[in-house]
Structure 1
C-alpha cells in the first residue's frame, strides 16, 4: 500500500471539446509524413511516450507523458486525450497523474480498455535525487471513461532494491486475470523481464514469474487457450506461455533489434507488432511494424517502415502503439522530439498481409538481353541524363522513379507488350505503375492482358484504377493462366504514361517442354532427369528422375530467388526407391554440403529427414507408390520445415546445414553406386514470402 505522504493528484475531468488537427497525406512509401497530429509542444513542455486503446463503442483514448524533457531532473505528468471519430479529432488534454509535489516523476504510462469497460492505467515512479531511482510499478483504473481513477496499487517485486519498471499495458488473459510485464534487476542484479498477475481486477497482485533475462521493455498479447506471447527489448525475441503465464519458453527469434516493442491483437491468429528501430551510433529510432502470424513465423509477412522523423538522426522518438479503428484502419501513434509532437499514421490491414510470390520468377531482363524475348511498346523515351529510363527499365528490378519505361508524352492509351520465348503458366503478376517523385504522387489506371497467340487477348487479368504505386503489387492467380504474350495498357496517367516494373512468376507443369530434354529452368548434375510423357499429374508431361548410373547420383536442380521463408509444393509419383527418392532444399550450390533440408522417401513409403542421421517424420505407408501424392515443405526459416503430405501435416524436419537462405530444390537418387531410384515430379511451385 502507498504511504499517506505519497498523494497522487488525479484530475477528474476529461474535456470533450474536439479540436480539429491538421492532416497531411501520409503513406508507408512516404514515412516522413503523418496522417494526424494528436499533441504538439506548448512552451517548454513536450509530449512523449503515447499509449493508445479503444473502447467497445470505438472511442479512442491516448495517455502520454508531458514534460520539458524525455527524462532528467525535471518531473513530468501523465495526460489523457480522447477521440470519438476514429482519431480524426482529439479532445483538449487533461492531466490525470501528477506526483511532482512529492518529488516523483511518473514514467512508463500505458493505458488499456478492459472487457468490462474499465480503463486500466499502469506506470512506474522515478525519483532523480535517489541512488535507486525507480520506486516501483503501479496499477489504477477508471470506471467512468477517465473521469475518476482508483488509488494506485503497487505491484510487488523481488527485484533488487525494488526496481520495477513498465513499458506496456496490463492485459486480460485466461480466467479473467490481469497480467502485467515489468522489468528490472533480479536479486543478483541481472536484468530480466517478469510478469505479474491479478485475479481481483488489479486490487492485489501475485508474485512475479521470470520470462527472459538480459532484456527489458516488453509487450504482451493473449490469444486464447491460455496462450500468451511476450516480445522483448532489445533482442526482439518472442516468448510464449501455454499455461497462462506460469511458464515461458523462447518461441521466435526475430533477429531484429527493437526498442519499446508492442503487440496489438487483431484476432487469435494475428498480432499487429510495432517497435522503434535503433539506428547505428545513436541515429534515427524510426517506427517499424509487422503483422505477425505466430503459427506462420516472423518472416511470413513484410517488416515495413511506418514513420521516420524529418529531422536528421532523431533518436528521441517512437514508442509506438496501435489500435484497429471502427472504420477498419490501423492507427499507430508515436512521438517525435524533432517536431515536438505526438502523431499517428493510418494503414490498412491489407498493407501488412504477406506478399506471396507463387511460382518461379521469369528472368525477363536476362532473357531480353539475350534476345530470347522482345518488347513492342510506345514507351520508348530515353535521355542521357537518366540511363535507367529505357524499354528494359520496366523489368530491371528497381522501383526507383527513373528506372522505368516512359512514353515521352501524355497521350493515352499507351501500351507495353512482352513477347515471351514460350508459353508459361503464370501464377503471380507483379506490377508497379508510376511511382511518386520528389514528394508528389502520380496516379495511373491500367489493364493487363495475357494471350497465348498475341492476337486473342480476352478480358484483362488485372486492372488498376487511379492508383499511385511506390512498390510492386502482386496478384496471385488461383488457377495458373497460360501466356506467351503479356500486354500492359495504361488508360489514364497524370503526366507521361510510365511502367515502372513488371514481374512474372510461373508454375512448372512441363507441358511446354520437350520430351526427352531437360526442362527449361532446370539443370542436371549427374545422371538422367528429363521430361517424360509416361506419367502426368495434369496434362501429358512430367519430370522424371531416374538413376541408371552406378557411378554418379541423379541430381536435378531448380533454382529460384533466395529467401529465408520458403515454401515448396509439388506432386510426386514414386515408382521405385531401393536407395531413396531424395528432396533437398539447398543454398548456393548443388552439393550435399549446401543442403539446408535433406528429406527422403523410402521403399516402405516412410518419410525421413537427415541431419547426420536419418530421423522418421512419417512411418511406413506415408507415401504411396505408383500413385500421385502432393508434398508441401514449409520452411518458416532455415532451422526447421513442416512437411505436409496431401495437405496433412505429418511432422517437422530439422536442418542439416546452417544457411540463412534457401535458393533451390534438388531432386536426387539415394545412392551414388546404387541404381533403380525412379520417380516423377509435376506442378512444382516455390512460394516466397516477404
Structure 2
C-alpha cells in the first residue's frame, strides 16, 4: 500500500481538475527521422509492445513493487527472473488484506496468471549467501522504542519461504505509525539496510508536529535477523516538512544516495505534495548531507500538476543502479516517469514520462496512484511497473474520460538506458554460438550459484555471483574473438562490492601482449567502470589478483569496437546515429550472432524504408562492410556509399542493389548493370558484403570473395566520400524486409 496519505484536492488546488492534458497518452520516446545520439547517454522509453500488462483480474491490483534476480533456464542459458508484488486491499492504514505477486521468467515480458500467489508478497533482495530476503511493509507490533516486522527468507530460489520476526530498534520514540519503504539491500561488507519512516502521533514532543513524517535507515549485521537504526535520512525539526518514502541506493563510488518524497504543512495537515528532495551519505548511512530539491529536466515535456505553481512532484521514489553504472530514478503523481543520472553523483537527472492515465473530468492526481518500481533486466535495459485505478481513491465514480481507461491492473514498461558508443560486442551470444572461445582458470562453480562460471563474465549482470571466479588464487581469463577488432572502449567490473585489482591486455596473435590497455588497481566496483582504449585485438586477456580471502572474481566485461553492432541501441526504436530514417528500427528477432540488429521493412507505398549514416568530413577512400539477411525480398535492397560532388552537394557516389534473385548490381546513373549472377546474396541467409571504394573505383566482395573490381562511381566527378545508407528498392514497391548487422565503416 501507499501509506496513510490519501491526497484529496484542497480548495487551493481545485484548478487541477478537468485537465485536457489527460486526453493525450504517453506513447514512449518520440520517433522522428533522426536516431538518438551515438556518442552521448540515451534514455529511451519504449513504445508499442514495450508497454504491457503485468496482472489484471478486475479486483484491486495497485501500489506495485518489483524484484529481479539472476537464474538460468533448463538449457543453462541465463535469465532474469522478475517478481511483481502488489496490494489487493484498500489504501488505508487498517487494511490487512494480504498482497499478491506474479513472476516472469523471461525478463519481464510476460507474467503468467498461473504464477499468482500471496507469499511472500513483498519485494526481495538476494544476499551474497544466495538467500532471498524481504520485509513486510506494516509491522506486526510496536513499542515506543522498536517495531517488529515479518521477514521472509528463501534459500531455494523462491520455491519455499520461511517467515520469522525481526525487530527494528528505532532512532526516536515512537508514538505514531511506522512503515518500511522498498526492499532491503546489502552493502559490500555484508550489512543489510532497510529504509523506514515514522509518523508522529498526538503525544509527540517538539520539535516536530503531529502527523509529520520522518525517514530513517536501519542496518542489520546478521542477515536481517535484527536491525538497529543507523541514521536519519530526512527530518525537519521545524515541523514544516514531512518526509515519507526514502529510496536508498549505492552510487558507483559506494556513497549512498537517497531520494525522498516530500510534503509541506499547509496550515491544517501535510496533504500538500511538494518537490522530492535528495541527500547523500559517505559513511554507510550514519550521517546524511543537507536535503536539496530534486531537479529533473524533461526534454520531451512534463505536465505540471498546477500550472500556477510549476514544480516537479513525485511519490514512492525508487532507485536502481544499472550494471552499466547509470542510476535510474522512478516516481509518479502526476503521471509516471523515469529519469537517469549519468555522472555517478546522483545529479544532472534527465527524465521522460512513461505512463499517463488521468480523467478529463476529475482530479489530475486520479487514474494512477503514481506508485512505481524498477528492476534492471539487462545491463542497459530497465523495467518499470505501475498501476491503473486503485479502488480506494484513484478512480472514483464521478470521474470520466480517462487517458487509457478505468480498469484495475498493474502495467509494465521497458526503457533503454544507454551509455555512449554503439559498437558493443555481444560476447554472450557469440560464446553460446561458439563464435568466440574462452580459456581461463576462473572456473569455480559453487553449489547453488548457477550463474558463476566463464560465461558469468559477460552475462549482462553485475550481481555478485554472476561472475567468473577462482577460489584459490589469482585468475587469468582469455578470450579468442571471432575477428580482429579495433577496440574503442572497455567496461570492467572485478568483484562487486569488494576491493580488487586487475589488468586487461590486447593481442593480435595471442602470444605477444605488451603493456596492459587497462590497469584497474584497488577498485571496489558496484557497476561497470568504463575505459577509453585504442587497441587492435583478436585476443583479450584479463588478469585478476587474488583478494584478501585468496579468491579472484571477474564480475562483468564489456567490449566496444568500431563495428556497429546495435547491442547498445534502443530496442524496437530508431537506431542511434542514423538519419533519414523511415520504416527502420532496432530488432531482436531473426538475428544471428547478436541479440540486436537493424531491420528495414517497407510496408508503405508512398515511402522507402531507409537509414543513412551521416559523415561530415570527406575522405578519398571508404570501406563499407556489413552483414545482411534479406528476410523477404520481392524487389531489392539498396546500399550506397555517399560522397560530395564538385558543387558541394551530397550524392550517392556508389549506388548498389541486391536483387530478388540474389544478384548484385550497380547503378550507372541511368541504368542498372549486373555485377554477379543470381544467388550471390540469397534471401533467408546472412551474407557479408564489403565495398572498398575510392573516388574513382570500387571493389565489391561477398563472403570474403571478390565479385567485382574497378567498379566506376555512379556519380562521376565525386571529390570525396562521406557516409553510407541502406534502403528498400523504391517508393511504390513494398515487401522488402532486410536485417543488417555488424557494420564496419572506415577510411
TM-score range, shorter chain: 0.3 to 0.5
TM-score w.r.t. the length of structure 1 is 0.44
**TM value normalised by structure 2:** 0.41
Q: Which has the larger Rg? A: 1
Between 1 and 2, higher relative CO (CA 8 Å, sep ≥ 6) is seen in 2
